Amino acid sequence: MTRLTLLLVCAGAALTARASTIYSTGFEHPTFNTGQLVGQDDWVTDHTNSAARVQTSVVHSGYQAVKIDALPIVLDHWWWSAGHAYDPWGAGESVVQVETYMRLSSDYFRSESWGLDVYDSQVDRVGLWSVDDDNNLRVWNGTSGLDVDTGVDIARGQWYRFTARFDYRAGTYTVLVDGVQAGGTYPMGSTLDFGDADFRVTEPGFDKAYFDDFSVTTQPEPASLGLVLLAGVAGLRRRA
């Protein structure tokens, strides 16, 4: 085995050996049928069941995606898949990644914000990102309790991949848009555990949000990546 091959194998092992999936869905058949989202695959809401629907007209990939119509909604709303709590301390994998594709319609009277809201098992907020009615991406600061403008603008009518990475050991998180970090590193709220990740709308208007390819995974910690790569370097020295 060449030195380059050994290093590539070690890097691959570092990225995959400990990663695991907590929940993942593309909202596809047969797990999901077109129609009301609530009641399928343990998805629930705190208010209006009919606003979120699985449909086939606007999708990121595959044949189906979720559309949430703000028009019939009066209050702030959350939708989430129940039963996927995860203890990063007991499991030993302290980095949790929540990812989804989201597309916002360009209707004139817009909701105050759309986004993803993450909670622990005691319903205390872990972190939050949202796109406001001026198309600004904002990230919640767990220390101040304020939503911080990242300086990133989100265009209406197109899909974006939003990734939030929560490092429970460090007590911080980052948000990426299409793989590029938006803003800085933000303090988390609760670091107890992961409870659920919710699609959220506040002060509903007349617009719509589409969600697709949603996942919650654990990620290898930076320290574990370094240990595996060091093992690879040691192997190179033994062969030198």
Asked if 171 and 120 sit in the same domain, the reply is yes
Evaluate the omega torsion of the peptide bond into residue 88 and state whether it is cis, within 30 degrees of 0.
Answer: no
The mean predicted confidence, pLDDT, of the chain is 89
Q: Judge if 143 and 74 occupy the same domain.
A: yes
pLDDT at 236: 38
Residues 125, 147, single domain; the answer is yes
Tens of pLDDT along 68-91? 999 999 999 999 999 999 999 998
| Judgement on whether residues 197 and 98 belong to the same structural domain of the protein | yes
Domain count for the chain: 2
Residues 55 and 6 in one domain: no
- The whole domain housing 4 covers 1-18+222-240
Q: What is the pLDDT of residue 2?
A: 53
Q: Are residues 62 and 105 in the same domain?
A: yes
Same domain? 100 vs 150: yes
Domain match, 100 and 23 both? yes
CATH code for the domain in which residue 131 is found: 2.60.120.200
Let me know whether 173 and 149 are in one domain.
Answer: yes
Question: Which residues of the chain are under the pLDDT cut of 70?
Answer: 1-18, 222-240
Q: What is the pLDDT of residue 6?
A: 37
Residues 44 and 147 reside in one and the same domain = yes
Same domain, 7 and 47: no
Q: Are residues 140 and 40 in the same domain?
A: yes
